């Protein structure tokens, strides 16, 4: 039996809201707009979508909204791509619940952080992923030591990789040296680039996927970058990548959701506001994101 593959360009989808005074923070999820966005991403060549990640503001959603967002993505993408649902939770019982719900609703795979509100130790991290993986879907563990304060080091990933159904790691430490080290210590684990601003470097070192933010803005061009890198066409890949990196760096900053949504607005794809705790960009940040995006779009010929 082959190992399930969660590679390729899978977009961590941004979530659109519409104004509604009766909704949390006066913003209701616009499911129709979200479905249209998922469809647009797949139609532009992306392998799939990832609802209910950090970029999808999962922690600001009600339980009902969170499940409906994932269902919307699953129903919209259908057999035309894969849907890797974020099942992040403070503890293993919450994460396992969301994994069970995702399996029931037809997800192709799961993306899972370590415990999100607690600096778990080695044994607790292993138990967390064992609980989620027991549901039976392919699991991509997510290393984001910046936000979780838990670092899934290559040595720890070698242990996590022994858990049945754990097939990949979304690597967001920003340390590209880890790609080879993970491949050495956990050779059965696919390494997926999780930070847009090191994606080319990661792919050249053997990453097999990109769980991506800025392809919400320019999906077809991002798929082209991925394909060039994976096929070893370095000169073409660098020429495409370098003008994008200033924009891509926002994917690794605190304001990444707001920045990517602004990028969507700039290409006439509705990004819109965020729910608290995320607020509006400062004027300084808005001007810098706009300048970085304008440069990227000009290089792509879509400005």
Tell me the per-residue pLDDT of 179-212, one tens digit each, with 9 for 90 and over. Answer: 999 999 999 999 999 999 999 999 999 999 999 9
How confident is residue 1, by pLDDT bands cut at 50, 70 and 90?
very low
User: Residue 133 pLDDT more than 90?
Assistant: yes
Percent of the chain with pLDDT over 70: 99
User: Residue 302 pLDDT more than 80?
Assistant: no
What is the arithmetic mean of pLDDT over 97-122?
Answer: 97
What is the arithmetic mean of pLDDT over 9-37?
Answer: 98
Specify the pLDDT at position 301: 87
What is the arithmetic mean of pLDDT over 225-230?
Answer: 98
pTM metric for this prediction: 0.97
User: Residue 18 pLDDT more than 80?
Assistant: yes
Specify the pLDDT at position 303: 58
Q: Of 95, 187, 69, 85, nearest to 138 (Cα)? A: 85
What is the arithmetic mean of pLDDT over 14-37?
Answer: 98
């Amino acid at each position: 039996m082959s190992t399930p593959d969660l590679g390729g360009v899978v977009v961590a989808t941004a979530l659109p809201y519409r104004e509604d005074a009766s909704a949390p923070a006066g913003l209701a999820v616009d499911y129709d707009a979200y479905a249209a966005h998922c469809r647009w991403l797949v139609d532009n060549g992306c392998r799939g979508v990832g609802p209910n990640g950090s970029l999808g503001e999962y922690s600001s959603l009600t339980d009902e909204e969170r499940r409906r967002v994932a269902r919307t993505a699953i129903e919209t993408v259908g057999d035309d791509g894969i849907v890797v649902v974020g099942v992040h939770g403070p503890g293993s019982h919450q994460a396992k619940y969301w994994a069970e719900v995702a399996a029931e609703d037809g997800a192709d795979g799961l993306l899972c952080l370590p415990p999100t509100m607690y600096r778990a130790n080695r044994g607790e991290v292993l138990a967390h992923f064992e609980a989620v993986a027991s549901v039976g879907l392919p699991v991509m563990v997510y290393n984001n030591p910046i936000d979780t304060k838990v670092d899934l080091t290559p040595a720890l990933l070698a242990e996590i990789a022994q858990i049945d159904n754990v097939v990949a790691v979304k690597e967001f430490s920003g340390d590209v040296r880890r790609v080879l080290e993970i491949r050495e210590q956990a050779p059965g684990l696919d390494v997926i680039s999780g930070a847009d601003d090191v994606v080319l470097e990661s792919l050249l070192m053997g990453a097999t996927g990109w769980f991506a933010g800025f392809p919400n803005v320019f999906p077809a061009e991002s798929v082209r970058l991925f394909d060039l890198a994976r096929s070893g066409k370095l000169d073409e890949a660098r020429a495409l990548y370098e003008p994008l990196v200033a924009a891509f760096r926002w994917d690794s900053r605190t304001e990444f959701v707001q920045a990517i949504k602004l990028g969507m607005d700039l290409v006439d794809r509705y990004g819109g506001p965020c729910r608290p705790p995320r607020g509006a960009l400062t004027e300084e940040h808005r001007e810098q994101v706009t300048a970085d995006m304008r440069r990227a779009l000009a290089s792509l010929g879509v400005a």
